[in-house]
Structure 1
Amino acid sequence: MDAKQVKVLQLINAYRFRGHQHANLDPLGLWQQERVPDLDPEFHNLTEDDFNETFNVGSFAIGQETMKLSELYDALKKTYCGSIGAEYMHITNTEEKRWIQQRLESVVGQGSFSQEEKLTFLDELTAAEGLERYLGAKFPGAKRFSLEGGDAMIPMVKELIRYAGNSGVREVVIGMAHRGRLNMLVNVLGKKPQDLFDEFAGKHDETWGTGDVKYHQGFSADFATPGGDVHLVLAFNPSHLEIVNPVVVGSVRARQDRLGDQDGSQVLPITVHGDSAIAGQGVVAETFNMSQSRGYRVGGTVRIVVNNQIGFTTSNPNDTRSTQYCTDIAKMVQAPIFHVNADDPEAVAFVTRIALDYRNTFKRDVVIDLVCYRRHGHNEADEPNATQPLMYQKIKKHPTPRKIYADALTDKGAIELETATALINEYRDALDRGECVVKEWRPMKLHSVDWSPYLGHDWTVDWANQFDANRLQELAQRVCQFPESHKLQSRVQKLYNDRLAMASGEKMLDWGMAETLAYATLVDEGNRIRITGQDSGRGTFFHRHAVLHNQGDASTYIPLSNIHDKQGTFQVFDSVLSEEAVLAFEYGYATAEPGGLTVWEAQFGDFANGAQVVIDQFISSGEQKWGRMCGLTMLLPHGYEGQGQSIPRHV
């Protein structure tokens, strides 16, 4: 192969690997991007004399085998150094990389949108900006954690829902923190503006519980898409950043299990992160680590980072992280990362579609890094100039995303200036009326979780707690049976022999057999059981052995899953080595599955301490704050087997 030809292929590869480092991502232009020598043709000994020469472009997916170097160089810059910076060459799976290259390179990194779609994006940017301005004028100084600067999140999420509905998704569960949450509630989920105004004015109509601040509230609605209605859920959450992510994924897994959605094609999780939080909070890494594990996978999560380049008052990346990008944590699971300039709504919509298609095709997590800014302080009473003077001098002069896009459409002749003005006035009038402003909103009739059978009870209510003794005897025999070909380890074989003796009344029941029988009575009546925890299949104290391991071929057998054909599902999973994310996941699962028994088992001693935020903020207070019920059961071993205390004073 000609030496110059080799250099051309190396140039293509350089852009695939490092083009994102030269991409136009920061709306404010404050990023100091280091020059990457690999992206200069001269680095590869390609001179101006070579620009008119024609070369083979190898696997560059532009749809032609050869190109002039000048045309190829221009295509590479458009594809990888425009408003989108794509990071995907860390992925080891060649098929995934080729797929992304095809989607990006075939259209030189630029989506094609109809006039109607462009007008929709402008309308949604108008709504995002209009709500914030309206609230700022109506309730000056009140905390609302404005989305301004990151307005593109609203058209992004709505496009994601529309596109998901077209691909067969029937439910979307969203988790996010405070930034832009009120905007999401009103402009995506269809909460009535008047209800929000009443909350600002302190007109709470709560006959139960303590309530919570408005930017912790959840919501549910149905959303019309061309592919059918989609049920939307915005999860309730506390101020503890990122902890809602595993809660959302757990809720999604429960919904998928209920629908028999084994590949995750019908229920989609979306998690919205902050740039400082996604890099700083350890629960993010825990949740990523769960994404492909048996007990927790949901067919991939679409993760959106509202990267406003600041965390409260801290904006120096040397203080907030030890990586180039806040999203580098996602590389631990080889997730592709699409950085995108939030002032370019068409680029945002383009990567949104690619991200969802990637998730649906490969059933893996994907990250969109929405690079934006924060127009005000951390909250509206804060003074950001005290700590970020240069950034806020720039922000003060910077036009809003809506104005930038409206001007661009006007300059191209796509719309008249009057059209953009009319959209502003129409939205403000709708807010004045206080009625729902989301055209796609529909009253709920899909997939809502029904907790009504459990309402209005207290601890003194009697329940049917008797079980037929003869049937219990039969179940005791059934849970001790396994195929003859399934050879057990000698200690496990003795344990099961002892259980057979217990079943016939020759021995007293021990804890392991009693627990197994309790589960058997539930699945026998058609109830679902899910147990997770570290080493829960065997049991930390060698007592459960719900999963039997064949000593010959390492296959497994679960007696409790094989009682009879019409029994309830019995699942037991050894969890990843985490308490916080796993317990949060199981809380989310239990909130979306009223009819079953969901159990999380702390492995040892006081290990549950690692999940204290979940216990405090969700399990013990969720019903009181948000009216969210949850049937989660926690097994907390604390020394009764003789070695459960890791530190005695903590027990």
Structure 2
Amino acid sequence: MTERQWFARHYEQFLADGVRVQDKIAALEVMLKAKAWENFLAVKFPTLKRYSGEGSEAAMGLYSYLLEDSPNYGVKEFIFEGAHRGKLALQTIIFRYPAAQLFRKIRGKPEFPDNIQGSGDVLTHQISHFDYVTREGEQMHVSTLPNPSHLEVSLPVATGKARGRGQTLRLGDYGSGRVGDGILCVHHHGDGAFTGQGVVWETLAMSQIPHFRIGGSVHVVVNNQVAFTAERDIGRSSTHCTDIAKSIDSPVIHVNGSNVEELDDPSFTQPIMYKTIKQQKCVVDSFKEKMADEGHFSKEQSAKVSADFTAQLEMDLKAVDSGEVSPRWQTGLDTDLLRYIGAKSVQIPENFNVHPHIRKTHIDARLNRLRSAGKIDWSTAEALAWGSLLLQVCTQDLSLLVIIFSLRNMTFASVDRMLAELHSDVERFLQMTDSRESQKPIDGDNVNMFVANPTSSAQYFHLLRRQMVTPYRKPLIVVSPKILLRHPAAMSSLEEFGPESFFSPIIFCSGKHAIILESEIQQRNLEGYVVVRLESLCPFPTSELAETINRFPNASDFIWSQEEPRNAGFWTFVAPRFRNGLGIQLTYNGRPEIPWMATAIAEHHKKEADKILLDLFQQ
């Protein structure tokens, strides 16, 4: 009884205070966009099974209000899962899934780059993650979960994710904080599934159990009166579809959506109901007129919102049809944020004495580079990458094991060292990839691991960030010599880490050898030589190499140069891929086949290195 009185008192107070004008305007704008969205899809894709949300546009206003108001109550994590009804409008308008990507999917293309193998998922299962900032500047992370076509399966998954975040943040049963503080889990249901799926009751039944409870959820049930074709009196035993929630004394608020029409035509099975529905005015139009009459938002302003949104959708669809949309992982960051992360990476606690040499060569040197926009070395690039990914890495289940493994030696088995010289480590990793030299194109991101040999600090930064920015996890093997850690030619400006910068898969030859070749060309004042650095080895960048080679139509000789012996290094990996994927027969330049990896005699090493350059530039 006390809880009922508390709820009634707060609800009545909310009604007495009324809704803020800015919240009304925000609700109207998303509702106008929702109507424009459904109209756009109906015109452009008339046969698309899109599970329209027409008639339930008022729910868009609710979600808009939840996002805007939740951070004011300390919510930092907003977790959403929902069924198909009205999901496309929700994802694009509320949860910021790119409309162009959705149109790409509607056109029959995958939601990932064309060169990646995978079965993909249906339209209504797409997800998004982003940081929402309120009008007052409060920030909240929003994540949506994929839902399979089996209704309500994602309900316990989202609840479990909220519980897991509570455990990570040491809230409720896992610490001193209250259960549910800072985390809001929201579920979007259809009326038939909410009543009919047993997993709903099972999840509700566990809602108060220690170590399972999350402090409550928000359940939004879109009731279009018809669960497919079943009428309510044969679909459930209760009066309302939400009566199941009364089993745990949960408050239920019934809202009149005003209109329950949708693109699907149930008038064949429910002719009387839908005759009445068609005579009603759309809830968006009714609300639009009400806002205009109250002087809060004119009809001209409403028309502009709809027109601008429709124009943007037209542009997105045009980009898809012209082939301009190609997913690319955004690994760059704002330069001011990078400076902040870099400064924090060398921040010294109070009353902590630092060795003068460390302060001068490491701390002061890093700060000076960041302040003066100087070249960024590899250690700083690594700190910037890890600093920007700290939350993601620390919350990974295997993060501790990964860190422990990094302390181990990369020689997996050394039982044969007394019998024969070990092959190069990079060769071992390349042999473990499933990159195929015979197929065309050679391969895409569908390989089992990534192998890269970056030659600049910016490339290294983007490689590390790409590992966490991509929505999938695959091993990344970075092979690079220590000489590049402080080499001036391997440093990058801070702008190369910025928002519009990316990891470039190719740059011909590989690793620090490219820097040696470029330096030699400058010293000899040679013309007509082009050094292309190949930094991504697996997946093999066939199309990017083809684009680069096409820029030099007069090129007649193609040479692969490497420091390693012919029976080691990258030669045996790249040669067949150039031949099969690009139709290019490479000429080898490097050390010949030898039964050891490298000589231990400095004089011999120098002669071998000089001979590589001499043979190359005399060809």
State the structure with bigger RCO (CA 8 A, min sep 6), 1 or 2.
Answer: 1
TM-score, length of structure 2 as denominator length: 0.49
Larger radius of gyration: 2
